[in-house]
Amino acid sequence: MKKVYTRPKYLKPVANHYCPGCGHSIVHRLVAEVFEEMDIGERAIGVAPAGCAVLAYNYFDVDFVEGAHGRGCAIATGLKRRVPDAVVFSYQGDGDLAAIGTAETIHAAARGENITIVFVNNGIYGMTGGQMAPTTILGMKATTAPFGREAKREGYNLDITHLVAEIEGTAYAARGLITSPKEIRKSKKLIADAFQCQLDNRGLSIVELVSPCPTNWGMQPLASVKWIEETFTKHYTPGVLVERRPVSG
Amino acid sequence: MKKVYTRPKYLKPVANHYCPGCGHSIVHRLVAEVFEEMDIGERAIGVAPAGCAVLAYNYFDVDFVEGAHGRGCAIATGLKRRVPDAVVFSYQGDGDLAAIGTAETIHAAARGENITIVFVNNGIYGMTGGQMAPTTILGMKATTAPFGREAKREGYNLDITHLVAEIEGTAYAARGLITSPKEIRKSKKLIADAFQCQLDNRGLSIVELVSPCPTNWGMQPLASVKWIEETFTKHYTPGVLVERRPVSG
Amino acid sequence: MADKVLMRGNNAMAEAAVRAGCRYYFGYPITPQNDVPEYLSGRMVEVGGTFIQAESEIASIYMVLGASAAGGRVMTSSSSPGISLKQEGMSFLAGHELPAVIANVVRGGPGLGNIAGSQSDYFQMTRGGGHGDYRMIVLAPGNVQEMADLTYLAFDLADKYRTQSIILADGMMGNTMEPVILPEMRELDSLPEKDYVVDGMRGKRPSRARLSLILEPKELEDHNWKLQRKYKLIQENEVRFEEYELEDAEMVIVAFGTAARIAKGAIRRARSEGLKVGMIRPITLWPFPSDVVRQLADRVKEFLVFELNAGQMIEDVKLSLEGTANVSFYGRPGGSIPTPRDLAKVIINRYSQKFRLI
Amino acid sequence: MADKVLMRGNNAMAEAAVRAGCRYYFGYPITPQNDVPEYLSGRMVEVGGTFIQAESEIASIYMVLGASAAGGRVMTSSSSPGISLKQEGMSFLAGHELPAVIANVVRGGPGLGNIAGSQSDYFQMTRGGGHGDYRMIVLAPGNVQEMADLTYLAFDLADKYRTQSIILADGMMGNTMEPVILPEMRELDSLPEKDYVVDGMRGKRPSRARLSLILEPKELEDHNWKLQRKYKLIQENEVRFEEYELEDAEMVIVAFGTAARIAKGAIRRARSEGLKVGMIRPITLWPFPSDVVRQLADRVKEFLVFELNAGQMIEDVKLSLEGTANVSFYGRPGGSIPTPRDLAKVIINRYSQKFRLI
Amino acid sequence: MSKKGKIEIDRDKCKSCGYCVEHCPQSILKISENYNDKGYFYAVQVGEECTGCSICAVVCPEAIIEVWRG
Amino acid sequence: MSKKGKIEIDRDKCKSCGYCVEHCPQSILKISENYNDKGYFYAVQVGEECTGCSICAVVCPEAIIEVWRG
Amino acid sequence: MVIKSIFAGFGGQGVLSMGYTLATAAMVDGKHVTYLPTYGAEVRGGTANCTVAIGNEEIASPVASEPEILVVLNQPSVLKFINKMSPGGTLFVNSSLVNKIPDREDIEVVKVPANELAIEINSPRSVNVIMLGALVAKKGLVSPESMRTAIEMFFEKKAKIIPINLEAFQKGYDFIKGEEPA
Amino acid sequence: MVIKSIFAGFGGQGVLSMGYTLATAAMVDGKHVTYLPTYGAEVRGGTANCTVAIGNEEIASPVASEPEILVVLNQPSVLKFINKMSPGGTLFVNSSLVNKIPDREDIEVVKVPANELAIEINSPRSVNVIMLGALVAKKGLVSPESMRTAIEMFFEKKAKIIPINLEAFQKGYDFIKGEEPA
Ligand SMILES: Cc1ncc(C[n+]2csc(CCOP(=O)(O)OP(=O)(O)O)c2C)c(N)n1
Ligand SMILES: Cc1ncc(C[n+]2csc(CCOP(=O)(O)OP(=O)(O)O)c2C)c(N)n1
Ligand code: SF4
Ligand code: SF4
Ligand code: SF4
Ligand code: SF4
């Protein structure tokens, strides 16, 4: 028999600290698979967020800089300018990318910075214990929105990927789900396309992965992916949001 | 004969420090006129930016807090939450609002913060001497874009008002020109509508005034308004960008 | 007994803030102080106050500035990296002369560090990590009860001097639960009037501006000297400290917060072995109790500064002593916290070197 | 003569950076240092480097972190409020142990203050305004030539110790033009190799991570002690200062930067009236020339610290002297800069009180 | 039924931007050849046909034109 | 022409999320009643009809399932 | 004197509430007490633990570097903490889930088949309270009355499960008392 | 000895380049020199000024609190700076634009009809260089040769206007020399 699936080579052979069923683990795997398939792991440099994926460098077997909360795109910019032939990506959660890091995200897009953002949207602050995120949807509870998010009180949720897609320097913006095998496969394709965009020097690429945080949602893993498919995606529909300046040839 | 026009009462009877033909002076006047006509000056609280309008409190005869560069919307939020019946506005330039203040702007909108942003877009950093702004259009020169802005090198210009308009908590977003008598009159109407939106408790209102900076554009005042009408507005077309939740009755 | 409640330091602080009349809280999550925003997100709704989880620490400090300028009792809290982000805003609050209470539940640094308790932000808090000449009142609680009491006090001091009061705690202090007696609930209308507030003229007074931009150097200099006079006044009136077993002490430990707590245990151990050791615990880190320390040196010649960092408060001790006594240092940076026994060993060791006890 | 050029301090600094091999500059406009980004926006294009006007000071310090992690010689510059915003990033650079050169062209504070020259960020720069136990090399140029020379040096020191080098100037120093001889252009391939760089494994080595998150307190403590050892090494090797008219001095002025420049003029005046006054000018503010100051006290008993602030470096002078000499202070915060004549009056006054000269 | 108008310009505060001159429908404003204390060549009225339409006041950045009509 | 497949699960790293169990088209995986050293009830294979479709591997967050086919 | 206890187990086994309830009881007893849960990042990864210090003098450090008492509900926690224990200390294990206890001659081991006991009273989720009952019976850190008050305070908002928890406490308590020579 | 000069006028009158060129000449002469332009917010509002200090020793402060020399191109600047002047100082006014000079007995006033002189040489924009010529002729701060070199350096990139500026310099220079007793 032939081995048809094995742990990707750019994931270190170690256990991670993520909770059971956490989407981060799957996204890690997908990115590592893409690195292997596109043969770009050897020149990849990642920026780890402050967030549950703060230890990403312990799991990915590629070069990494650990970033400060929200500054992934700025750090990635510095890296890419210094090593233009590297494949630079910033791995970020929703708090990181869409709250404290809003300015860095928007302006990396405006500059058309040739980097890739891997954006894990789980609608909550995982690392710090379930506080409200910019992407927390109305009605959803969080430790800092104990009565459930209400527009009048906690404001609306923010679709940052949509905003980024509206910006001219963004070459590629897409959203995938981390739920079923089908959606996971699609998401992997989006991740690959985002990195391809960088290889083609087309500007900023962002791929949002709508992803379960069973722990802070207070759900079992299977219930959490179901909730994504039934409720959460109503606010975050998957697909390619924008594609600009397609390469000729 | 009847007096049909006089200096508005919410402008102090002092000379300002703005350059000849500067749009800030006109915007000041329009806001002061609106305060008088809507009778809201007595409960107005402004936030002055770091920018050419840094001394706004020397010219407006209403309460003011001088802000830090980019933090107008955050300060206005604090003010409004403490004094909900006040009319709170943040006066900001393009660097202030759209560069360093990006996150504060976007999230005030997401919260649907019931404040008004008076946004003066002159496509340049006036106060500090003509550096590139997020709104500087391609081809335009600045002291930090000495060869003219080029997408590849300096990135694209950013239409922040458009982004703000895309956010659900934004009740009103509009753009006016500070050029001819006709456009100035229209702009005044937009300013009034923005403040009305706050009075009606509808959420964030922003009005962008596309405005000349003759000094840093290196043009005579008349040439600068002409340049706005012929070139600059191509990137920043006037009009109402969004209006949400119209008041019933 | 009845009025004691078992509370976490962070929550005791948050509840004390509400009872002191704080109705505006703006913050951003960061471990190890997340209980504060979590607690207040619900509590502010109960008392009709405002809770905002801001988009960042920077936004929150400027929301604080706005609400304070409009006259509210207002608070924010964070931990080391988040406090670093607030430095510009804190300098602005100082320049604008606006009161605010800011809690720093310190974690191990520098950089992302870790979430264990540490005291390595002493310099940042006492020297002003922001730009310009300014000082802030820095209160260092020694247990959960003081987390409540000093927070309560912090609001009064902030208003009295139009200054920032800092609660300098650490991850351990913030997360430990102890029985605590909460201060009474203040009526909002019992709070002192403020005559500098920017809340709309309302046809009653001329327009006002709160600002820190003063373009003319001479005027900004005057403003600075005015601030310095205020700081002097605070130094004269607001020094707070605790003396512990000092009567017969031949060696004095200087420690604050969690370190002081551990030091007490260590001193008990050392005393049980016959060593005459005492402690001076600064409760206000700024203003630092320099005079007391200096006067102590009239009879005690050995000082041991113990900090959960690589040596910061020791500068204040040295500045107080001006060479009149020996000062040594024991420090544990990076979130390491020694046991009272570990510290007792250090004390006994140094003591015996000096006094040939053993 | 031929190689002298008339240059503004800011530009001399910027050009020296390029010549030192700096090819990455990330900044944000703020007076009084705008010449730096303006100059480099064009110059970096000429030399094939990167210039980015970032969206904020925060973004720029993290771009610096990225480019430095990838091995570049990299710089940012700002002025007081902008530097406050960089504090978190500077703490990260320290924790990550990454080299960088950061210029702070200080203006009057606190808050928005003004754009005149000031020295009120001394504490912030020498004590680390960010969180955690860390230090940075702080170089204080005394004229435009030193703006160039010390910037050039700053890059070498930053690389040597994997630390931040700060150029602490002020609005006056940054905007004054003087004839300057620029340092030679370094070949990029003559720069030292770095073995910690994160630039892709390229099939040649295992993956690397640059970080400052160290969750285990004991490990973070070790990391901190390692940093402290490095700082000790810097203290031992990198102290720089200038002695001025000290041979027969009975009174010593301690001043740096623009203040020292004015002090020289004042000393010349005082000497012309027969006063034996000299100066010690710290060039490195950290590491502070403590030993020299302390040794001076063996023969001189009167020190006058002169700063363009309300009194900050005076703490380092006192910490150096430990009570072995008298220290007085003359300060001008808020961007006020006295003339050499004003200062001479102060000097003569204090001198005559001490030595009954007049 | 055109009404008569009147304006007054606070010449000491005029900065010579020329907006009023450009936009006056009656073309009765111009930039003087003298300058004020701040050194600006100020705007002056040179014709009598003012209608009080206020357009000059609407464009004046300095808010220094008063207009009467009636 | 269905091919035979085979999987191997690193049970010590399994966290019991149940994704593989849920999605296996052959329904041959289940959560065991024993737990591993980390305290998780790990997934086990309970039927032989594995086709090597890899779906379990595609959903496994821990990347601990190896799949053979042939 | 200060006695320090560490409670450890899987997240979800009610480890933190054990510590909290004990600390409350100590407070009710008028003793000095601190309770320190793990927090933040440490919480990820499935296990939880907390520390309670009870004494009749001010408590210097809420941390237990050498706990006198260790209460463990699962296997990994035994391995993680047993070597920290102070000589002469007492180890309480939930013997229903823990079968491997490393040798340490200098401590006393108390085995409580808590899962079985819980099933006996038809309250499988009360394992932690049963362990508490055993702890109090054996070590008397706090009075059983205070412990009952603490349980009532803890479940204040879910009053209907107070009785079953009081029963669980008694079950554990009696388990030890029954074993002891009368 | 250090001599300090302030140059002042409207923005656009070439005030800053006057100072810059003079400072360059001093550098060419091998003297100690500092040049301090106004910067930042001060620049708004229409007027500009700068300070040049020239000496044969290290210059302590680039600021002129009591300038020995004041060169003004417009009326407001006279009023702004005249009272700062050091007794015995020399005030150079562009008498084409300045008609009101407050009384100060202790300074010397040199009136240069610079606009007229500029028109004479058909170069109305050279008012500032004419004033420089007068300054150098009168005060000899730098050598005329160095000043010419400085002018050439300044206009390096616009070489074709060098001659007219040299002519303007000479015009101002001769204006003074012609007035002076030969
Ligand atoms: C400056 C700063 N502020 C706050 C934090 C604390 N913090 C760490 S991660 C995080 C948010 C995590 O949420 P998210 O980005 O959504 O990622 P997730 O953990 O959900 O993957 C916060 C607030 C920090 N480390 N630094
Ligand atoms: C934190 C901080 N960074 C930078 C500055 C300097 N600064 C003052 S105003 C300004 C930009 C002004 O441009 P803009 O906001 O477009 O307003 P304008 O002057 O054009 O009206 C800058 C960068 C500052 N004061 N504070
Ligand atoms: S808290 Fe949420 S995001 Fe974080 S590891 Fe657990 S499941 Fe994943
Ligand atoms: S610089 Fe530009 S924006 Fe500023 S006052 Fe002058 S014209 Fe107005
Ligand atoms: S009011 Fe109208 S007509 Fe009269 S001067 Fe003004 S613009 Fe001209
Ligand atoms: S998907 Fe992976 S982690 Fe989840 S139960 Fe199956 S084998 Fe275990």
Block mean pLDDT (10 aa), chain B, length 249: 95 95 98 98 98 97 98 98 98 98 98 98 96 98 98 97 98 98 98 98 98 96 98 98 73
Quote the ligand 3 centre to C118 CA distance (angstroms): 26
Ligand 3, atom 1: closest residue by C-alpha: A126
Q: Is the pLDDT of residue G85 over 70?
A: yes
Round to whole Å and give the CA distance between B148 and B136.
Answer: 9
Q: Pick from E15, E37, E39: which is nearest to H10 by CB?
A: E39
Virtual torsion, Cα D327, D332, D338, D344, nearest 10 deg:
-10
Mean pLDDT computed over G150-176: 96
Reported as a pLDDT band with limits 50, 70 and 90, residue G13 is confident
- Reading the block at residue G28, the tokens are 């009710």
Cβ <8 Å between G44 and A128? no
Cβ <8 Å between B7 and E64? yes
Element (H, E) at B64: strand B63-66
Q: Is some CB atom of chain A closer than 8 A to the CB atom of B245?
A: no
Q: Is the pLDDT of residue A247 over 70?
A: no
Quote the ligand 5 centre to E52 CA distance (angstroms): 5
pLDDT at F1: 41
Decide: B228 and B124 in contact? Cβ < 8 Å. Answer: no
Q: Pick from A152, A156, A168: which is nearest to B110 by CB?
A: A156
**CATH class belonging to D4-201+224-237:** alpha beta
Name the residue of chain B whose CA is nearest to A114's CA: B152
Q: Supply the DSSP string of D261-329, one letter for each residue.
A: HHHHHHHHHHHHTT--EEEEEESEEES--HHHHHHHTTT--EEEEEESSSSSHHHHHHHHHTTSSEEEE
| Amino acid code (one letter) for G123 | S
Report pLDDT digits (tens) over G34-75: 999 987 655 555 678 999 999 999 999 999 999 999 999 988
Mean pLDDT computed over D209-228: 97
R_g (Cα) of chain B, nearest Å: 17
Residue to probe by mutation, ligand 5, list E21, E24, E49, most atoms within 8 Å of CB:
E24
Q: Among all ligands shown, which has an atom nearest to the Cα of A224? A: 3
Rounded mean pLDDT for each run of 10 residues along chain H, 182 residues in total: 93 89 97 90 70 96 95 90 95 92 94 95 94 97 97 94 96 89 54
Cβ <8 Å between C116 and D85? no
Cα–Cα nearest to D258, from D349, D314, D174, D315: D174
Q: What are phi and psi of F62, to 5 degrees?
A: -90, -5
Q: Give, to the nearest 10 degrees, the angle between helix C257-272 and helix C340-355.
A: 60
Report yes or no on chains H and B touching (3+ CB pairs under 8 A).
Answer: yes
Report pLDDT digits (tens) over A28-50: 999 999 999 999 999 999 999 99
DSSP secondary structure code for residue C53 in this structure = E
Q: Is the pLDDT of residue F70 over 90?
A: no
Q: How many pairs of residues across B and H have Cβ atoms under 8 Å apart? A: 14
pLDDT at D128: 80
Domains annotated on chain A, with CATH: 24-243 (3.40.50.970)
Q: Is B53 in the pocket of ligand 2 (CB under 6 A)?
A: yes
Which of B43, B63, B85, B164 would you mutate first to test chain C, the one with the most C CBs within 10 A? B63
| In chain D, residues 17-76 whose CB comes closer than 8 Å to chain B | 28-31, 34, 37-38, 41-42, 45, 51, 53, 55-57
Q: Supply the DSSP string of C9-25, one letter for each residue.
A: HHHHHHHHHHHTT--EE
Which of C57, C68, C131 would you mutate first to test chain D, the one with the most D CBs within 10 A? C131
Quote the ligand 1 centre to A102 CA distance (angstroms): 13
Gap from D106 CA to chain B (nearest CA, Å): 15
Report pLDDT digits (tens) over B208-247: 999 999 999 999 999 999 999 999 999 999 999 999 975 4
Cα of H85 vs its chain's centroid, Å: 15
Quote the ligand 5 centre to B14 CA distance (angstroms): 23
From residue C311, alpha-carbon distances to C333, D132, D228 in Å are 9, 11, 10
Q: Is some CB atom of chain E closer than 8 A to the CB atom of B180?
A: yes
Q: Is the pLDDT of residue G138 over 80?
A: yes
From residue B41, alpha-carbon distances to B15, B24, B58, B86 in Å are 20, 19, 15, 9
Higher pLDDT residue, E17 or E34? E17
Q: Is some CB atom of chain B closer than 8 A to the CB atom of A110?
A: yes
Q: Is the pLDDT of residue G2 over 80?
A: yes
Round to whole Å and give the CA distance between H45 and B55.
Answer: 13
| In chain G, residues 106-165 whose CB comes closer than 8 Å to chain C | none
Q: Is some CB atom of chain B closer than 8 A to the CB atom of H44?
A: yes
| Amino acid code (one letter) for H91 | L
pLDDT at H38: 82
Q: What is the ipTM of this complex?
A: 0.97
Q: Is the pLDDT of residue G178 over 70?
A: yes
Q: Which of D32-41, G105-114, H37-46 has the weakest average pLDDT?
A: H37-46
pLDDT at H36: 96
Task: Using the Cα atoms of residue H169, residue H170, residue H173 and residue H179 in order, give the sign of their dihedral.
Answer: negative
Q: Is B24 in the pocket of ligand 4 (CB under 6 A)?
A: yes
Neighbouring chains of F at 3+ CB pairs within 8 Å? Answer: A, G
**Could you give the 3-state DSSP secondary structure of residue A24?**
helix
pLDDT at C1: 43
Reported as a pLDDT band with limits 50, 70 and 90, residue A200 is very high
Quote the ligand 6 centre to A21 CA distance (angstroms): 8
Report pLDDT digits (tens) over C7-24: 999 999 999 999 999 999
All structural domains of chain C with their residue ranges: 4-201+224-237, 242-354
Q: Is some CB atom of chain C closer than 8 A to the CB atom of A51?
A: no
Q: Is the pLDDT of residue D1 over 50?
A: no
Q: Among all ligands shown, which has an atom nearest to the Cα of A131? A: 1
Q: How many pairs of residues across B and E have Cβ atoms under 8 Å apart? A: 82
Round to whole Å and give the CA distance between F59 and D233.
Answer: 52
Token pair 């004419």 is found at: H130
Round to whole Å and give the CA distance between C170 and G62.
Answer: 13
Ligand 6, atom 3: closest residue by C-alpha: F14
Which residues on D lie below 8 Å from H60 (Cβ)? 261-266, 268, 340
Strand order in the sheet with G47-55: C4-8, C177-181, G32-37, G47-55, G2-10, G69-72, G90-94, G108-112
Reported as a pLDDT band with limits 50, 70 and 90, residue D177 is very high
Decide: D20 and D192 in contact? Cβ < 8 Å. Answer: no
Q: Is the pLDDT of residue D221 over 70?
A: yes
Let me know if the fold of C4-201+224-237 is the same as that of C242-354. Answer: yes
pLDDT at D357: 55
What's this model's pTM, rounded to 2 decimal places? 0.97
Cβ <8 Å between A180 and F67? no
Quote the ligand 1 centre to A92 CA distance (angstroms): 9
Contacts of residue D28, defined as CB under 8 A and 6 or more positions apart, other chains included, come to: B99, B100, D37, D53, D54, D55, D56, D57, D59, D60, D78, D82
Decide: A72 and A117 in contact? Cβ < 8 Å. Answer: yes
Atom of ligand 3 nearest to the CA of A23: 8
Decide: B172 and B196 in contact? Cβ < 8 Å. Answer: no
Ligand 5, atom 2: closest residue by C-alpha: E53
Cα–Cα nearest to A114, from D73, D64, B151: B151
Which residues on B lie below 8 Å from D29 (Cβ)? 95, 125, 128-129, 131, 144
Element (H, E) at A164: helix A160-165
Gap from G29 CA to chain F (nearest CA, Å): 36
Q: Is B237 left (phi over 0), alpha (psi -120 to 50) or beta?
A: beta
pLDDT at H76: 84
Ligand 4, atom 1: closest residue by C-alpha: B126
Contacts of residue H46, defined as CB under 8 A and 6 or more positions apart, other chains included, come to: B19, B20, E15, E38, E39, E40, H10, H11
Q: Strands A116-121 and A204-210, how do they pair? A: parallel
pLDDT at E3: 59
Cβ <8 Å between D31 and H34? no
Under CATH, which architecture does the D242-354 domain have?
A: 3-Layer(aba) Sandwich (3.40)
- Reading the block at residue F65, the tokens are 């399932």
Cα–Cα nearest to D200, from D70, D19, D101: D70
Neighbouring chains of E at 3+ CB pairs within 8 Å? Answer: B, H
Q: Is the pLDDT of residue F48 over 50?
A: yes
pLDDT at B247: 47
Which of B17, B35, B52, B65 would you mutate first to test chain C, the one with the most C CBs within 10 A? B65
Q: Among all ligands shown, which has an atom nearest to the Cα of B178? A: 4
pLDDT at A249: 40
Q: What are phi and psi of D294, to 5 degrees?
A: -60, -40
Q: Pick from D84, D132, D334: which is nearest to C80 by CB?
A: D132
Round to whole Å and give the CA distance between H41 and B51.
Answer: 10
Which residues on D lie below 8 Å from H24 (Cβ)? 6
Ligand 3, atom 7: closest residue by C-alpha: A213
Name the residue of chain B whose CA is nearest to C75's CA: B78
Cα–Cα nearest to D70, from A200, A85, A202: A85
